[in-house]
Amino acid sequence: MSGSEGSSGQSGRASAADKKKAKVRVSRTSLILWHAHQNDVFAVKKLLDEDKSLVHAKDYDSRTPLHVASLHGWVDVAKMLIECGADVNAQDRWNNTPLADAEGAKKSKMIEVLKCYGGLSYGHNGSHFEPRPVQPPLPNKCDWEIDPSELDFSNAHLIGKGSFGEIVRAYWRGTPVAIKRILPKLSDDKLVIQDFRHEVNLLVKLRHPNIVQFLGAVTDKKPLMLITEYLRGGDLHQYLKEKGALNASTAINFALDIARGMAYLHTEPNVVIHRDLKPRNVLCVNSSADHLKVGDFGLSKLVKVQNSHDIYRMTGETGSYRYMAPEVFKHRKYDKKVDVFSFAMIFYEMIEGEAPLSGYEPFEAAKYLSEGNRPAFKAKGLVPELKE
């Protein structure tokens, strides 16, 4: 064996060893964060005895075990972490310190403890909670009714087509926008008009960074049109088709964007159940997909919740079969958890690089899932917490 061959063989072995170490490190980071979340002082201490550097472990949002303990008010875990060298003023992705988290979550005992150890409060108090923007005042129609003459279709580009109409990219006062245009032949159909007005009345109430922004509508003239912001990155379905399986960090960041938008929709007492959450209805802000937004509320329902256990009787088999929750497929009573099921199917697709049960036709996939089955995990390197 020549010297160069020997050195390349050694570097290959070193590279494999480094990868193995990195994998173990990721797994241990997940474990200490998980045990801190579970208020398991003994398990956290055991991990730190084995590897002291884990006290500085960070997740994909730069959150440390102390951030997690502070948020939940687990005083014993926090004290032990600080005594083992945790940085009491570490900052996460939102620049929050553990004390800012404790204050955001109103954990008074934790606030006292962190201040005793020199904790400072800076960052955006509790900003990693699902943002709850201030609800706008109920709008007058004149606030959002758009005159069709302001819309420029001279360079319109077809984005999508459905049985009720089409979505095109056009311009409104010089700005590219997405316009859902109802087919002229359906503009007098009472049910179509009712559904269109329902979507407008719903969208006009929504304000959130992870929800596609409603800009206005044409309801006084035909064709009926709904105007929203235009997102250049296209939809998540196309993105995944091109990229395949995403690495865990990217998939988690994407999932968090979707989850924040959905958590906003699901906030009581005015709960919006999307009912058609799927990759085609999740849009990328740009081609780099730095930011995702949930869109297309044509099938959504706004329900007034009297108490958190309310279950609603709504239309069965609403939405897309491949991402459909079993209770919807079976025409049973359901609530906002149907969106959680669809979210899980999207998360699965991001990790695996293929649609759930891709070997089945969509209807057969929904039927298979409704019988209690779930798609199998094939992707390597998935930590147990992520599978869970």
Q: What is the pLDDT of residue 92?
A: 83
* Of 212, 206, 376, nearest in space to 284 by CA: 212
Task: Measure the CA–CA gap between 177 and 12, rounded to whole angstroms.
Answer: 51
* Of 258, 248, 315, 249, nearest in space to 285 by CA: 258
Q: What is the pLDDT of residue 20?
A: 55
Q: What is the pLDDT of residue 305?
A: 42
pTM (2 d.p.) = 0.61
> The CATH number of the domain where 289 resides is what?
1.10.510.10
Q: Which of 101, 116, 131 is the last residue of a domain?
A: 116
Tokens representing residue 220 in the block: 């006084």
| Total domains, the chain | 3
Rg, the chain, Cα only: 25
Residue 86 located in a structural domain: yes
Instruction: List binding-site positions for ATP.
Output: 180
Among 235, 276, 335, 339, the active-site one is 276
> The CATH number of the domain where 163 resides is what?
3.30.200.20
Task: Measure the CA–CA gap between 85 and 104, rounded to whole angstroms.
Answer: 24
> The CATH number of the domain where 67 resides is what?
1.25.40.20
- Give the count of alpha carbons within 13 A of 10, CB side only: 7
Task: Measure the CA–CA gap between 368 and 354, rounded to whole angstroms.
Answer: 17
Q: Is 65 exposed, middle or buried (0-12, 13-18, 19+ CB in 10 A)?
A: buried
Write out pLDDT tens, residues 40-60.
999 999 999 999 999 999 876
Residue 322 located in a structural domain: yes
Q: Which of 229, 245, 265 is the last residue of a domain?
A: 229
3-state DSSP assignment of residue 1: coil
Beta strands, E only, 230-357:
270-273, 282-284, 292-294, 301-304
Residue ranges of the chain whose pLDDT lies below 70? 1-26, 60, 123-142, 163, 298-319, 381
Q: What is the pLDDT of residue 64?
A: 93
Instruction: List binding-site positions.
Output: 180
Residue 5 located in a structural domain: no
Question: Do 247 and 378 fall into the same domain?
Answer: yes
276 carries an active-site annotation: yes
Q: What is the pLDDT of residue 60?
A: 66
Domain extent, residue 75, equals 15-116
Q: Which residue matches tokens 């687990």?
A: 74
Q: Collect contacts of 256-259 with beta carbons under 8 A, ≥24 apart.
A: 256/61, 257/210, 257/291, 257/292, 257/293, 258/210, 258/282, 258/292, 258/294, 258/343, 258/346, 259/130, 259/343
